[in-house]
Amino acid sequence: SYELTQPPSVSVSPGQTARITCSGDALPKKYAYWYQQKSGQAPVLVIYEDSKRPSGIPERFSGSSSGTMATLTISGAQVEDEADYYCYSTDSSGNHLVFGGGTKLTVL
Amino acid sequence: EVQLVQSGAEVKKPGESLKISCKGSGYSFTSYWIGWVRQMPGKGLEWMGIIYPGDSDTRYSPSFQGQVTISADKSISTAYLQWSSLKASDTAMYYCASSPLTGAFDIWGQGTMVTVSS
């Protein structure tokens, strides 16, 4: 079955840039999407279609994709950005949605 | 307001059946896919399957095919996730999500906690 691979954890100091990667064989042809999930809360969409930002999401969140890797970048990370981040995409058939394993972002 | 509201927490015994719900409002419920997502305690998100309420086209993730049933009643803008025989390993938070704002799964329900214990 199709898999998306994320690093388990990323740690930055406040104000630094955090980059979270997501790798998958179908990413050259399929969009990546990113969610933020804070403890005890439902996920929130922060990036869709590789690089678009939903209304209400701060500009410090951006996304990119190149080849088999998509990247979520948080420029000037803040303490309130501490959360788990998940990428998702579809397999090459487009019929099955898959999440990455999630990345715990620590900002301290 | 565009929102999904899920049914409340459930505590069940192994072998029992269960159907949980997800009601959409503030948008055209029949025009957007609804997805169900499992999150086991302390673990990541897993797509279970999706349904298009307009015609009930349903697609299951391979891991969940045959384990659950996803359905929808478009007359009351509600999607369902059901089990015929629960196991302890079904203990998890279950979320529904839909895509009326961006085309991605951009609105989520508050989650339904299902606990299966003897």
Whole-number pLDDT of residue B103: 86
Whole-number pLDDT of residue A28: 96
**What whole-number distance in Å separates Cα of residue B95 and Cα of residue B79?**
11
Whole-number pLDDT of residue A24: 97
Low-confidence stretches of chain B (pLDDT < 50) are none
% of chain A surpassing 90 pLDDT: 95
CA distance A14 to chain B (A): 25
- Buried-state track A30-62, b at ≥16 Cβ within 10 A, e below 16: bbbbbbbbeeeebbbbbbbebbbbeeebeeebb
Whole-number pLDDT of residue A1: 85
Low-confidence stretches of chain A (pLDDT < 70) are none
**What whole-number distance in Å separates Cα of residue B98 and Cα of residue B36?**
9
Chain B residues with at least one Cβ partner in A under 8 Å? 35, 37, 44-47, 50, 59, 61-63, 95, 97, 101-106, 108-111
Whole-number pLDDT of residue A74: 98
Whole-number pLDDT of residue A94: 86
**What whole-number distance in Å separates Cα of residue A74 and Cα of residue A89?**
20
Contact flag A42-B103 (C-beta cutoff 8 Å): no
As beta bridge partners, residue A89 has A98
Partner-chain residue, chosen from B37, B62, B111, that has the shortest CB–CB distance to A96:
B62
Nearest 5°: the CA angle B70, B71, B74 is: 150
B75 three-state secondary structure: helix
Whole-number pLDDT of residue A45: 97
Chain A residues with at least one Cβ partner in B under 8 Å? 1, 33, 35, 37, 42-45, 48-49, 52, 54-55, 84, 86, 88, 95-102
What residue of B is the nearest CA neighbor of A39? B42
Tokens describing residue A13: 């100091």
**What whole-number distance in Å separates Cα of residue B77 and Cα of residue B92?**
24
